[in-house]
Amino acid sequence: MVNFHPDTRLLNDFSAGSLPLAQSVCVSMHLGYCEQCQRQSKQLQQIGAGMFEKLQPADVGEDLLESVMARLDEAPPLSYALGGDTLDLDDHPALLQRLMKGDYADLEWRSIGSALQISHLQTGDPAHELALYHIKAGGSIPEHTHRGTELTLVMEGSFSDEDGVYQQGDFLIRAAEHKHSPTAAQAADCICIGVLDAPIRFTQWNYRPLNPFLRLHAQ
């Protein structure tokens, strides 16, 4: 059961097609697990379409009207581009596989300590980093804060931090001031998707020397 979801603002931007690409990937993959958010996203799309139909060209300006009309011809949000209204969990990794161009074993992983490996994926988004995080069973990501916003989607396994326990399909938003140390469950490794718009900042003394070298891998 999915217990944590994108907020209304994120879903609204996603449904309108105005969310940055890397964040859209994360939200889209959450919808593959969550029928509740799928329904809400569709409702937001219908509300937006209804509001637009009531507008007159004079209300929005000719330039804005042309821009919106152009967007109507674009592809639908990523969650619906794969076909069907509900993504079966067995088919859900298709979007991720398009970015990975292979399997987990084919990716280039970078180790951060003994428990964490990170693999950065290319989305074409110049302002956001999208990466896979592999936390070994019982292992922790060193305590850190955020210099920007962090989106996280649990793909496999589960992890916990100071605020709760998160399982497959759960979607988290962490603001800049939030500090935490995610720890994978003892029973299995945890794999998550993380999207950053700024590098994290380690708070533990033994990891702080890394902070000046941390860069956003946006591409």
> Where are the CATH 1.10.10 domain residues in the chain?
8-97
Would you identify the CATH topology of the domain 100-213?
Jelly Rolls (2.60.120)
Reported as a single tens digit per residue, the pLDDT across 127-147 is 999 999 999 999 998 889 988
Q: How many percent of the chain have pLDDT more than 70?
A: 77
- Of 166, 162, 116, nearest in space to 142 by CA: 116
Q: Output the pLDDT for position 93.
A: 53
Reported as a single tens digit per residue, the pLDDT across 175-200 is 888 899 999 999 999 999 999 999 98
- With bands split at pLDDT 50, 70 and 90, how would you rate the model's confidence at 82? very low
> Where are the CATH 2.60.120.10 domain residues in the chain?
100-213
Q: CB of 40 within 8 A of CB of 11? A: yes
Higher pLDDT, 103 or 117: 117
Average pLDDT, the chain: 80
Q: CB of 192 within 8 A of CB of 152? A: yes
Class of domain 8-97: mainly alpha
Higher pLDDT, 91 or 139: 139
Instruction: State if pTM tops 0.85.
Output: no
